[in-house]
Amino acid sequence: MKHMLTAAAFAIAGLLSTGMAFAQVDYPADSVRIMVPAAPGGSTDVDARIFGDYFQKHSGSSVAIVNQPAGGGVVAAQTVATSPADGSVLYIWHAAVHTTNLSGQSPFAYTDLTPLATVAEYNDVYAVRADAPYSTLPELADHARKNPDSVTIGSQFGGTTQVKGDAINALSDGAMRVVDAGGESDRISRFWASRWTSSP
């Protein structure tokens, strides 16, 4: 069953990455829940919904996207880890599966799950207000050193954005504030509301 499930998932992932038309895949589950450890509106949620559409189209399985943002991914990971190993429950996540475990925020390591495919690749971008007095990372770091605690970076503690935020803060010798601002959709809305200076 595991081999059939893996083959089916890779075949469907191949459809996404190449854009080629393939015949239906004989997937072992008629109904599939894709667990998303993030709130609707962020890139993880968008990735899951695009993947879910293609998965449903090419597998014939009915697909439901289930958002479980609680616990920084722990709740969704637990749902998957305790579900039947029949392909009816899938988990879409990113590098935070490593950082939440390493930071002690999640008891689930990547070894507790079976990775099947990469469905998206993209880079993060740090954005600041258009009227900010800096337009490069060195200028931002210099401004923060001259004005301690005037720059706030919104991140998700235990996630990859905290690691990146801490790295940028190190450029200013720790003069910035890195705050826990929730998932991506939360950070975007708070950034536009000018609750902080920078957000990935």
In a domain, 90, yes or no: yes
Does residue 15 register a pLDDT over 50?
no
**Domain for residue 46, yes or no?**
yes
Say if residues 200 and 161 touch (Cβ distance below 8 Å): yes
| Digit-coded pLDDT (tens) for 67-113 | 998 777 788 888 988 899 899 999 998 777 777 787 787 888 888 88
Q: Is residue 117 part of a domain?
A: no
Q: What is the mean pLDDT of residues 42-53?
A: 91
User: Which of 55, 95, 101 is CA-nearest to residue 81?
Assistant: 101
113 vs 20, residue with greater confidence:
113
pLDDT for 53 equals 94
The pLDDT tens digits of the residues spanning 114-157 come to: 888 888 887 777 778 788 888 999 999 999 999 998 888 888 77
Q: Are residues 103 and 69 in the same domain?
A: yes
Put simply, whether the predicted model's pTM sits higher than 0.85 gets the answer no
**169 torsion bin: left (phi>0), alpha (psi -120 to 50), beta (else):** alpha
Report the chain's mean pLDDT, rounded to a whole number.
80
Q: Say which CATH number the domain at 140 has.
A: 3.40.190.10
Do 93 and 42 meet the contact criterion of CB atoms below 8 Å apart?
no
Tokens of 121: 């690749």
What CATH number is attached to the domain comprising 79? Answer: 3.40.190.150
